[in-house]
Structure 1
Amino acid sequence: MTLTEARQCALILNPEINAQRLRLLASRRFALAAGWWDDPALDFDALRILRGGPHPWLGGAGLTFTLPLTGVPGLERQAAQAYTRADALAVIVAERELLAEVERLWNACLTDRRCAAAQNDYRARLLAREPQVRALIAAGELPASEGDRLAQEIIKLDLECACCGAETVARQQALRRLLGLHPSAPLDLATEDDLEDEKPFEDDLQHAASGVLPESDLDLVRHPRVQEKLARFAAGEIELRAELRKRYPNISLGPRFGHEEGGGRLGASLGFSLPLWNRNRKGIATAEGDRDAARLAAVNEWRSLVTECHDARRRLQIAETKERGIREQQLPAALAAAERTERLFQQGEADVPAALAADATVYMAQEALIEARRVSDEARVRLYKTLVPPVDPERHAKED
């Protein structure tokens, strides 16, 4: 499985992201059902005149329509559409977070595999040295402790195996869970040769479809995380306007029919509420509190995103500098020193401990490079999460 296939698998099978999409679907349905007028009211009444004449019964019926002159249903529809837009942005944010987490666990699993390959290579070199060490010990040129030290180093490598540790298994299970796979499903990552042309987020940092790096802190206002909070703030503003308009009465209008003294009468009725004491004070207070909380959440989200962006850039700069130094200077120097030591050892001018020390130095440099690559990849993932993508929230909010 390649990283591209893992991304597609996660976007399709991940249960959390599918639950988020179902919530978006419910929000869209709610927006379609919002903003309708109140149903008309039909009433009947009947009276009997006590000690009456030949027509003691009086009857009547009426049909009443409520005219929302305050515009509350329209505001409710606008608020529902704003919440739908916020939920659509929340899905975008969740998808980006999911892809970033898949990338992080993918890099962690690749790091474990690289560490295991480096350990196996170092172990093979130690095993190749073992007959030489035993021969020199038998000839009396080396103390017996050198053989024990070599055996202890091999045992240490076996105990520190990067492919069968508890943390390695936990990372693999976490990756399966993100991909929506069964815990017992086989998970075979693509080999290094398959990944040569696949630079996970390096190309995404420059690809317009994934987003662009913000040039200033204000550019982060267009980030989906901030836009989601702003959409909820806009919905809170609309809800507050609706609650304020509920203080004003709606007009009830409709025809009425009555029967009295053996004859029928036809007329019209007009009514409205009298907002004298209540005036929707509780609803207005709740809407104001929700609006203020949404505004503060948007500001805090922007501030948090600014901090994450600067931190990610600094981490990536430090990680790339360290990785470049190990790759271009320290590891080549260790390999060159090991080659010189091996050549001197073959000529009889270097002893076995010197050759073992050179091999250990190469192994340490390889491990340092693997760790530097992991840190660099994680920093790149952090920076990817702060990109400002050119999304069209209205399109996502209107899609069915």
Structure 2
Amino acid sequence: MPLDPSGHAAAWEGRSPSDEKVRDFARRIETSAPRSVSFDPSDGLTLAEGEIVALVYNHDLRVARLKAGVAKATAEHAGRWDDPELSFDVLKVTEGVPNPWVVGSALSVTLPISGRLAVEKARADAAEQSELARVAEEEWETLRDLRKAWLEWSADRLRLQETESIVGSLDSAVETTGKLTEAGELPRTESTLFKLEQESRKADIARLRGKVKEGEQEIRSLMGISPGAPAKLVPTLASGSGKDRGKLADTNPTLIRLQGEYAEAELVLVREIRKQFPDLQLGPAFEEDQGQSKIGITGGIPIPILNSNKGGIATAKAQREVARAAFETELERTEGRLASMRARLSGAQSRRQSIDSNVVPLVDRQVEDARSLLEIGEGGSLVLLESLVRAYEAKLDLIEARLEESVAGNDIRHLLGPDRLTAKTK
């Protein structure tokens, strides 16, 4: 099965959020999800719809699911008996005898009386579950990264709109101050300040347009679609923070995976302990010596008095302690980060409400008053310029506060975990 880079590239470029594969997955989610899920990208791709596309086409998730398939294949064939062993001997008596050949053969089968094969099967099943939990964890992390990229792209679009708006306001102000300068009613130094501010904001527009394009391509990459795939993204700065659904150990995907890895480590220890108890080798034997045939049974059993698999047991115990520490420290870290994110969310909400309710209305009124006074010749131009800049900065602050609030909510939602895990091996 040789690689086909050109064929795969063509298939990738042909992917679309409207593909039947994505629609089929959306229908399955709609059937099994606790809440209604609507999927119709024809009128623009929303964040919720983009999450569905990412679960289907994301590059890293494809590899993660295939790795889980390896663990599944291993579990399906774990715990099998060892193959029987056939041995034979052919000897010749060197001194002259009527029948100088001595022929012997034996067929031995290992009887797993130690019970290690059953434990190995259980360990392989636990390893498969751990890999599925890892896939679920990577799915949830992918959705977190997608939501964050979508929020930041949406914020950049709003910053671009506000920057274009102030440039439009400065256009009329530059025209007005220019006329006043020509009439000798305003110093040229003051009218030049408007022009300088205008050109500076035009440079910001060019930078923000680049950031918007870059952000869109990052979103497309996370969804697993090509840069030219037909997809009109719908901006949003809304992101829920999720609700507590019980203990973090039962809902957080990382903690669920670490618990699975600890269960696997315990089964590895049980397997190593079972290896202390020997398995019996038993089977029929045949021998022909000087024309006489002999039939019987051959058997063997190791005597565990020197090795007793002490090294394997000690290693398994140490690995189990590592798995325990990994879970316990991650639980502590997650609880601490959750408290930190909730404090950040509270601060961001207070800041956003203050800017939205107090600062923005004040600066908007100040701009209108300053413009009216300048038009009738009773106000200074610098007051208008300062008012325009302050209004612009206040709106950028509001966008930043909304983004910080949404990102904090997204982080909280990630730590709390999904409503249900969506890991699949296919």
TM-score range (shorter-chain normalised) is: 0.7 to 0.9
Q: CA deviation at 1:264?
A: 2.8
Q: CA deviation at 1:172?
A: 3.9
Which whole-Å CA distance do the structure 2 matches of 1:38 and 1:186 have between them? 55
Instruction: Encode CA deviations 1:267-311: one digit per residue, 9 max, x unaligned.
Output: 212210122322223322322222111111111111111122111
Correspondence 1:353-368 to 2 at 5 A: 353-368=382-397
From 275, 286, 306, the counterpart of 1:277: 306
Instruction: Encode CA deviations 1:150-209: one digit per residue, 9 max, x unaligned.
Output: 110001101222654665554444333322233566764325xxx5xxx7532x72xxxx
Matched, 1:160 2:160: no
1:57 matched to which residue of 2? 101
Deviates more, 1:322-331 or 1:24-33: 322-331
Deviates more, 1:19-28 or 1:281-290: 281-290
Q: Which amino acid aligns with 1:20?
A: A
1:98 matched to which residue of 2? 142
Q: CA deviation at 1:237?
A: 1.0
Q: CA deviation at 1:336?
A: 2.8
1:384 matched to which residue of 2? 413
Instruction: Encode CA deviations 1:9-33: one digit per residue, 9 max, x unaligned.
Output: 3222221111111111111111111
1:229 matched to which residue of 2? 258
1:140 matched to which residue of 2? 184
Identity of aligned residues (%): 28
From 240, 244, 266, the counterpart of 1:213: 244
Which whole-Å CA distance do the structure 1 matches of 2:238 and 2:315 have between them? 46
Q: CA deviation at 1:335?
A: 1.9
Q: CA deviation at 1:379?
A: 0.7
Deviates more, 1:362-371 or 1:275-284: 275-284
Which whole-Å CA distance do the structure 2 matches of 1:176 and 1:163 have between them? 20
Given that 2:114 and 2:274 are in contact with CA atoms closer than 8 Å, whether structure 1 keeps it comes out as yes
Correspondence 1:181-196 to 2 at 5 A: 181-183=225-227, 188-190=232-234
1:6 matched to which residue of 2? 50
**3-state secondary structure, aligned to 2:149:** helix
From 314, 318, 340, the counterpart of 2:347: 318
Which whole-Å CA distance do the structure 2 matches of 1:340 and 1:124 have between them? 18
Number of equivalenced pairs: 382
Which whole-Å CA distance do the structure 2 matches of 1:41 and 1:116 have between them? 75
1:112 matched to which residue of 2? 156
From 350, 364, 367, the counterpart of 1:338: 367
**3-state secondary structure, aligned to 1:160:** helix
1:45 matched to which residue of 2? 89
From 216, 239, 261, the counterpart of 1:201: 239
Aligned in 2, Cα 1:249/1:388: closer, same or farther, shift over 3 Å?
A: same
Q: CA deviation at 1:94?
A: 0.6
1:209 matched to which residue of 2? none
Given that 2:262 and 2:320 are in contact with CA atoms closer than 8 Å, whether structure 1 keeps it comes out as yes
1:35 matched to which residue of 2? 79
RMSD between aligned residues: 2.5
Q: CA deviation at 1:351?
A: 4.0
Aligned in 2, Cα 1:299/1:287: closer, same or farther, shift over 3 Å?
A: same
Deviates more, 1:181-190 or 1:302-311: 181-190
Which whole-Å CA distance do the structure 2 matches of 1:7 and 1:388 have between them? 15
The unaligned stretches of length 5 or more in structure 2 are: 1-44
Which whole-Å CA distance do the structure 2 matches of 1:160 and 1:213 have between them? 41
Using the size of structure 1 for normalisation, the TM-score is 0.87
Aligned in 2, Cα 1:391/1:71: closer, same or farther, shift over 3 Å?
A: farther
From 399, 403, 406, the counterpart of 1:370: 399
Which whole-Å CA distance do the structure 2 matches of 1:51 and 1:323 have between them? 105
Which whole-Å CA distance do the structure 2 matches of 1:87 and 1:355 have between them? 62
Given that 1:214 and 1:220 are in contact with CA atoms closer than 8 Å, whether structure 2 keeps it comes out as no
Given that 1:10 and 1:179 are in contact with CA atoms closer than 8 Å, whether structure 2 keeps it comes out as yes
Correspondence 1:229-268 to 2 at 5 A: 229-268=258-297
Matched, 1:80 2:124: yes
The unaligned stretches of length 5 or more in structure 1 are: 206-211
**3-state secondary structure, aligned to 1:257:** strand
Aligned in 2, Cα 1:214/1:258: closer, same or farther, shift over 3 Å?
A: same
**3-state secondary structure, aligned to 2:113:** coil
Which whole-Å CA distance do the structure 2 matches of 1:153 and 1:220 have between them? 54
Given that 2:248 and 2:255 are in contact with CA atoms closer than 8 Å, whether structure 1 keeps it comes out as no
Q: CA deviation at 1:354?
A: 2.9
Q: Which amino acid aligns with 2:87?
A: D
**3-state secondary structure, aligned to 2:244:** coil
Q: Which amino acid aligns with 2:157?
A: R
Aligned in 2, Cα 1:15/1:219: closer, same or farther, shift over 3 Å?
A: closer
Aligned in 2, Cα 1:18/1:133: closer, same or farther, shift over 3 Å?
A: same
**3-state secondary structure, aligned to 2:136:** helix
Deviates more, 1:336-345 or 1:264-273: 336-345
Q: Which amino acid aligns with 2:244?
A: L
Which whole-Å CA distance do the structure 2 matches of 1:303 and 1:39 have between them? 47
Aligned in 2, Cα 1:392/1:171: closer, same or farther, shift over 3 Å?
A: closer
Given that 2:61 and 2:139 are in contact with CA atoms closer than 8 Å, whether structure 1 keeps it comes out as yes
Q: CA deviation at 1:361?
A: 2.3
Q: Which amino acid aligns with 1:237?
A: E
